[in-house]
Structure 1
Amino acid sequence: MNLDELTARLHAIRDRNDWRPFHSPKNLAMAASVEMAELVEIFQWLTEDQSRQLPPETLAHAGQEVGDIVLYLLLLCAELGLDMEEVVRAKLADSERRFT
């Protein structure tokens, strides 16, 4: 996955639709949170086993929500000047240090 290419494609969509004024860090963080809530809603009231064995249609829906979340986070990183790969690698290294 080439994050720079994905971000460029997202920016093209943003620019084509004149959404730049709405893509503040605050708004992008809130939008990612809303999408996360939509993902959580898929699992609400399921048992542990049911959550691991989603029907194909529900699994596809979950994938769409995960995609929405990741794309908003890519846009957020771009707005904040963060390199997503770098921050993810740093966080993973921190978790490895703390939990292994």
Structure 2
Amino acid sequence: MKEGANEHHGHGGLDSIRERLRVFAAERQWEQFHTPKNLASALVVEAAELLEPFQWLNHGIKTELGADQYMAVKHEMADVLSYLVMLADKLEIDLVSATHEKITLNALKYPVDKVKGDARKYLDYQDDIQQNK
């Protein structure tokens, strides 16, 4: 199946993205380069590129982005997601399950009654929690 660059696809979720990325890499014989280390490195590079349009903005909110910056952010987010999906595929990690698991762990680490409205890292208030037990 050949696809045009501007062709839009339905929103099939992470499974459809993973499959399209597999086909994309296979057609180009790039699987040999897609080691977990290389994919993790590429993910970090793309995450840094995602930060670039926000670098000198006051707050980095949507209304501060021009049309070109907004499009750049959109495409860098897609790159980050793509590398994350490829890395998860190589390591056989179900991203949806892993994310639900991590949210549950974070809920335990950051109890609402202790952190509501407080942006500190959990280590900064952990002593407060221990003292109140």
Q: Same fold (TM over 0.5)?
A: yes
Alpha-carbon shift at residue 47 of structure 1 (Å): 1.1
Match of 1:35 in 2: 46
1:56 CA displacement: 2.2
- Which residue of structure 1 lines up, in the alignment, with residue 67 of structure 2? 56
Distance 2:68 2:56 in 1: 17
- Aligned-pair identity in percent equals 33
Deviation at 1:98, TM superposition (A): 2.0
For structure 1, the 5+ residue unaligned runs are none
- Quick one: distance in 2 between partners of 1:42 and 1:93? 32
Query: If the length of structure 1 is used for normalisation, what is the TM-score?
Result: 0.91
**Matching of residue 85 in structure 1 with residue 87 in structure 2:** no
Give the TM-score taking structure 2 as reference length. 0.70
Mapped pair 1:47 → 2:58: yes
Match of 2:25 in 1: 14
Secondary structure of the residue that 2:81 maps to in structure 1? helix
Larger radius of gyration: 2
Q: CA deviation at 1:2?
A: 2.0
C-alpha deviations, 1:61-83, integer Å up to 9, x for none?
A: 10100110001000000000100
Separation in 1, partners of 2:76, 2:56 = 18
CA distance in 2, matches of 1:67, 1:2: 13
Point out 4+ residue stretches in structure 1 off by more than 4 angstroms: none
Q: Distance in 2 between matches of 1:46 and 1:5?
A: 35
Q: Which has the higher helix share?
A: 1
Gaps of 5+ in 2: 1-11, 113-133
Q: How many residues align?
A: 98
